[in-house]
Chains A and B, each alone.
Chain A
Amino acid sequence: MTTPVPQNRVAQWIEYRLPVFSWTNKHLIDYPAPRNLNYWWNFGSLAGFMLVLQIVTGVVLAMHYTPHADHAFDSVEHIMRDVEWGWLMRYLHANGASMFFAVVYIHLFRGLYYGSYKSPREILWWMGVIILLLMMASAFMGYVLPWGQMSFWAATVITNMTSAIPWIGETVVTWLWGGFSVDHPTLVRFYALHYLLPFVIFAVVFIHLWALHHRKSNNPLGIDIKSDKDTIPFHPYYTVKDMFGLGVMMFILLLFTFYMPNVLGEVINYEKANPLQTPAHIVPEWYFLPFYAILRAIPDKLGGVVAMAASILILFILPWLDTSRVRSARFRPIYKWAFWVFVVDCIALGWVGANTPEGNFIWIGQVTTGYYFAHFLIVVPLIGKFERPTKVPESIHQAVLKGGEGAGEAAAAGAAGAAAAPASGEQS
């Protein structure tokens, strides 16, 4: 294949001091990836792209934004009306947050379906959960910055959750606010942290990728890479595939940015923050709705906050809750169904979270919250014990090159893999 280090003398001078060329080759060009990755494997790189896009648009916005309780709201309007292309940067950043969560959620469910959290990828999985938590904190604090009505009351409700901590709760919440309510000091610290956290995310993404490249990608069959015949080089096969996915994602993101930039937002956030009046309906952004539903399902302040935190933290112990040794749901006839029931449950929670907790929404919220936890604590452990998995193929190349079992879902990857066969044969 390609030579890791060019014969150019300047390049060699650099390589001797900092091995950028061999490193790039090892991790981006000749990097051996399973030959059967399907399109669900696009979402990691898409999430990485979204992080970069959020940082770039965010830095530009920060140059025009004023972090002050009296001026923040007006400075956002200044960005929208007076700053050249300011509207584009703000709409890209706001809709970009939604796109980022969308691809990360799909990435997460991909991991759940194909068992990507199982040994030896537990730490890789933990880093992903930490990234999700950091993303939530960043998104929440960013949402506060325009200082509209929803910004203010979201900040009030979320920070008040810490007041549920027994004994020290009130002290902690005053400390978070830097005052006796959400006010100017709160806004400025949120701004500082909102600028910081994406770079922390970047660092954790690096560890996430370090763990990934150490043990290599999982794949739709969920079996280990056993020989060179099971892999194809990352470039050009997956760089091209990722670029195609990027095109599709950008089409969707720009569709929102250009044609319906406010459809995911709340109109009332275009009204300036008023500490004396709570809007009639407080609703978080769509990507927090399922968690909001869990918070409200428990009719107790501390209990609701604990349940909401637990709903994410439970992902940390999932590798040990899942007792099945087979990774991919493709060979797990019962888990496959449980997975889709869980997906429906999460969507139902989001639907409940979007509605006022009255009438039927109360019991639907409680049932779906109950099932959310039952999935992890009862369904998944028991299925692993009683399910009889179907036959798992011997190796990736046998399954894929014969065009047998795996052909359906991995058709595109399989085709690419077949075409690559001679090339990787040379490698071995």
Chain B
Amino acid sequence: MADAAPPSESLSEDGGKRRDFLVLAAGAMGGMATVAVVWPLIETMNPSADVLALASTEVDLSAIEEGQTIVVKWRGRPVFVRHRTADEIAAAQAASLDELSDPQPDSERAPQAQWLIVEGVCTHLGCVPLGSKLGDPRGEFGGWFCPCHGSHYDTSGRIRKGPAPANLPVPTYEFLDDTLVRIG
């Protein structure tokens, strides 16, 4: 490159501009090539096709008695299915939206009032809240209590107290018949 040394007059005028353009163009191509290499490297870390394929789980509700909660595994994480008692439904529906930090009416979260289906993963840092088994602490609102950092959820799985920012998420599900539900 250096030995090409053109006459000095043309270097300062046209030659300088031409070289600037070449540097810019080469730099831009190099930048694009870098992005093109880094992109797939990052993408490899996303969930792979076989992980994505484990999308749905079917649950038979007939064996769940009133007041009982079962825990099923969906996408590697727990889902709570609770057969709510009349009192629990009443408590969930009675809560005024003003006192909720993530306001959502119970009717939206549990279209069939006796069945509450929520993901059993605390929205704070991902622990599994207690309250599904008999004798578990259920927190101050009768739903679930997360032992890790002390979040309290109500009988609609809504956050009422503690560091968690959001309600327990409701997964997409549909009732295939009266006692069979497909989650996912």
Residues of A within 8 A of B (CB): 153, 156-161, 163, 174-183, 185, 189, 275-278, 280-282, 296, 299-302, 304, 357-358
Contacts and interface: CB of A to CB of B under 8 A. Distances in A.
A278 B127 contact: yes
Most chain A Cβ neighbours within 10 Å, of B73, B126, B127, B147: B126
Contacts of B46: 174-175, 178
A296 B75 contact: no
Contact of A281 (B73, B147, B162): B147
15 contacts: A157-B127, A157-B148, A160-B124, A179-B51, A179-B75, A179-B76, A181-B76, A181-B77, A181-B126, A278-B130, A278-B146, A282-B148, A299-B163, A301-B125, A304-B163
Contacts of B165: 300-302
Contacts of A176: 45
B47 interface: yes
B78 to A, nearest CB: 5
B143 to A, nearest CB: 16
Task: Output the residue of A158, A174, A180 with the most chain B CB within 10 A.
Answer: A180
A189 B45 contact: yes
Which 3 pairs of residues, A with B, have the shortest CB-CB distance? A160-B126, A180-B75, A181-B76
A183 B75 CA distance: 10
A299 B161 CA distance: 10
B71 interface: yes
Contact of B163 (A179, A185, A275, A300): A300
B128 A276 contact: yes
A181 B75 contact: yes
B48 A280 contact: no
Given A156-B125, A179-B75, A180-B77, 13 more contacts: A161-B125, A174-B46, A180-B76, A181-B77, A185-B48, A189-B45, A275-B77, A275-B78, A276-B128, A278-B147, A282-B127, A301-B125, A304-B163
B148 A183 contact: no
A301 B164 contact: yes
Contacts, number: 86
A178 B125 contact: no
Interface of B: 42, 45-48, 51, 71, 73, 75-78, 120-121, 123-128, 130, 146-150, 162-165
Contacts of B147: 278, 280-282
Nearest to B44: A178
B164 to A, nearest CB: 7
Contacts of B120: 276
B117 to A, nearest CB: 16
A179 B115 CA distance: 28
Given A183-B76, A275-B77, A276-B71, A178 B163 contact: no
A357 B45 contact: no
Contacts of B47: 174, 177-180, 185
Contacts of A275: 73, 76-78
A176 B47 CA distance: 9
A177 B162 CA distance: 26
Contacts of B77: 180-181, 275
A174 B52 CA distance: 11
Contacts of B48: 178, 185
A357 B51 contact: no
A281 B150 CA distance: 11
B96 to A, nearest CB: 22
A189 B4 CA distance: 50
A178 B75 CA distance: 12
A178 B45 contact: yes
A278 B124 CA distance: 14
B39 to A, nearest CB: 13
Contacts of B124: 160, 301
Nearest to B161: A299
Contact of B51 (A157, A178, A276): A178
A189 B42 CA distance: 12
Contacts of B42: 175
Contacts of A163: 126
Nearest to B147: A280
A301 B78 contact: no
A175 B48 CA distance: 10
A280 B135 CA distance: 14
Contact of A357 (B73, B76, B123, B149): B149
A144 to B, nearest CB: 14
Contact of B78 (A153, A159, A276, A281): A276
Contacts of A358: 150
B125 A357 contact: no
A357 B150 contact: yes
A157 B126 contact: yes
Nearest to A173: B126
A43 to B, nearest CB: 33
Contacts of B125: 156-158, 160-161, 301
